Amino acid sequence: MAYRVPFVDPKEHYRRLKTEIDECISSTLANGDLVLRQQLRDFERDLAQFVGVKYAVGVGSGYHALHLSLLAAGVGPGDEVISVAHTFVATVSAIVHTGATPVLVDVRPDYNMDPAAFEAAITERTKAVIPVHLNGRVCDMDRIAAIASRHRLSIVEDAAQALGATFEGRGAGSFGLTGCFSFYPFKTLGGLGDGGAVTTNDANVARMVTLLRYNGEDRESGVYHHHGYTALLDNVQAAVLDVKLRHLPDWIRHRRETAARYTTGLDGIVDLRLPVFDDPRHLDAYQNYVIRTPARDALRQHLRSAGVETLVHWARPLWGHPGLDLAEPAAPESLDICREVISLPMSAETTSEHVDITTAAIQGFFEQHQRQTVMSSDQSRTAP
């Protein structure tokens, strides 16, 4: 189906950057720079500077960033790692694949970890915590970091959706032992395939992740220090990402302007909750603009009929997938979120016209919904 308002528009994204992307790919290939060459080192340097840390290590995906970070933190069999119940499966899979046990806690209405629930879940086996900065908003890292410090827990930030977001002036991925990023194509900073990175201020962690990502080998000495993985960010991907990184501040500004336009157009609609959270410590990057309504499924179908593409992250909670073998946590907010959320179109290519079409369609839906509610109420009162 061709949408009037696409959720993202990768063809237009490429068209706008075609000259720069084609040039960097051609240069990389012409020089034979395919594995562990200068393009990767340049991107790692520039990413670390953007996030505000000393080191960045390019890896194969956001999942690999999480998994290798946990290994660098010493997490293994017998340990517990606390994270949130409302997240992408890779967050939890990374814990499981270390041999540790995931302990899932609820989120607050801003979709991020509830610090009180985090602290209540800590046991003598807890080794680390993975706060997930969802939708381009950093968690309450003051409270989370204080709790982790008291209990001597490592913090591994899942910042896959929050590159460029800040909390009290600090960037996502700069608070914990590591920050973990994904460069999946439809992220704010997306590659031409999968990719990820680990950010850290710890030289030993950076070195261990660097070894683990490429079969455990020190490439200069040829010595294998670990049984590692094949989890390297390819040079071509790094070259493209470095080009895009130069545009990232402008893209984030555009997303904030787009979010503000959505908020203005949707403010005041009954039974619709907007991602507006009154806390000046946060500056959100709006990877997603997520709304909530009990009429989610009907609204989504209405938007589809109007030519507006939307996504749902995620309609079924993680523990609702039997194959994952996860115990159901006490997470009522997470469960309600799964039933109510819709992500509206949001990208560097989303125009003001796209936003206006979307908000008009949503307004029309709720006006119709309200009329139907009034009619049903009137009929019930007049029924014999």
Q: Record the tokens describing residue 282, joined without a space.
A: 């946060």
Specify whether the CB–CB gap between 284 and 165 falls below 8 A.
yes
Task: With a cut of 80, say whether residue 100 has pLDDT above it.
Answer: yes
Mean pLDDT of 264-282: 96
Amino acid identity of 376? S
Query: How far apart (Å, rounded) are the C-alpha atoms in residues 53 and 61?
Result: 20
What confidence category does residue 373 fall into, taking pLDDT thresholds of 50, 70 and 90? low
Task: With a cut of 90, say whether residue 370 has pLDDT above it.
Answer: no
Q: Which pLDDT belongs to residue 371?
A: 76
Q: Which pLDDT belongs to residue 384?
A: 60
Among 55, 35, 36, which residue's Cα sits nearest to residue 45? 55
Q: Record the tokens describing residue 362, joined without a space.
A: 């949503």
Q: Which pLDDT belongs to residue 367?
A: 94
Instruction: Sketch out the chain's domains with CATH numbers.
Output: 10-105+112-245 (3.40.640.10), 248-379 (3.90.1150.10)
Query: How far apart (Å, rounded) are the C-alpha atoms in residues 141 and 148?
Result: 10
State how far Cα 48 lies from the chain centre. Answer: 18
User: Is the bond preceding residue 319 a cis peptide, omega within 30 degrees?
Assistant: no
**SS3 state of residue 177:** coil
Mean pLDDT of 40-62: 98
Locate the DSSP E strands across the chain: 55-59, 80-84, 101-105, 126-129, 154-158, 166-167, 170-171, 178-182, 196-200, 282-283, 289-292, 341-344
How high does pLDDT run on average in the chain?
A: 96
Task: With a cut of 70, say whether residue 247 has pLDDT above it.
Answer: yes
pLDDT tens sequence across 80-97: 999 999 999 999 999 999
Mean pLDDT of 209-238: 96
Q: Give the angle 362-365-369 at the CA atoms, nearest 5°.
A: 140
> What are the beta bridge partners of residue 198?
57, 180
Query: How far apart (Å, rounded) are the C-alpha atoms in residues 23 and 3?
Result: 31
Give a three-class secondary structure readout of 109-136: CCCCECHHHHHHCCCCCEEEECCECHHH
Specify whether the CB–CB gap between 105 and 122 falls below 8 A.
no
pLDDT tens sequence across 183-195: 999 999 999 999 9
Helix axes 352-382, 248-266, angle to 10 degrees: 30
**SS3 state of residue 224:** strand
What confidence category does residue 382 fall into, taking pLDDT thresholds of 50, 70 and 90? low
Strands 55-59 and 126-129 turn out to be unpaired
Mean pLDDT of 364-370: 91
**SS3 state of residue 332:** helix
Quickly list DSSP for 20-41. HHHHHHHHHHHTT--SSSHHHH
Q: Record the tokens describing residue 172, joined without a space.
A: 């996502």
Give the single-character DSSP code of 5: B
Q: Which pLDDT belongs to residue 372?
A: 74
Q: Which pLDDT belongs to residue 144?
A: 98
Specify whether the CB–CB gap between 5 and 308 falls below 8 A.
yes
What confidence category does residue 2 fall into, taking pLDDT thresholds of 50, 70 and 90? confident
Residue 188 main-chain phi, psi, to 5 deg = -55, -45
Query: How far apart (Å, rounded) are the C-alpha atoms in residues 370 and 271?
Result: 10
pLDDT tens sequence across 105-147: 999 999 999 999 999 999 999 999 999 999 999 999 999 999 9
Q: What is the pTM of this model?
A: 0.95
**CB neighbour class for 21 (10 Å; exposed up to 12, middle 13-18, buried from 19):** middle
Specify whether the CB–CB gap between 140 and 287 falls below 8 A.
no
Task: With a cut of 80, say whether residue 181 has pLDDT above it.
Answer: yes
Helix axes 89-96, 62-72, angle to 10 degrees: 40
pLDDT > 90 fraction of the chain, expressed in percent and rounded: 95
What confidence category does residue 369 fall into, taking pLDDT thresholds of 50, 70 and 90? confident
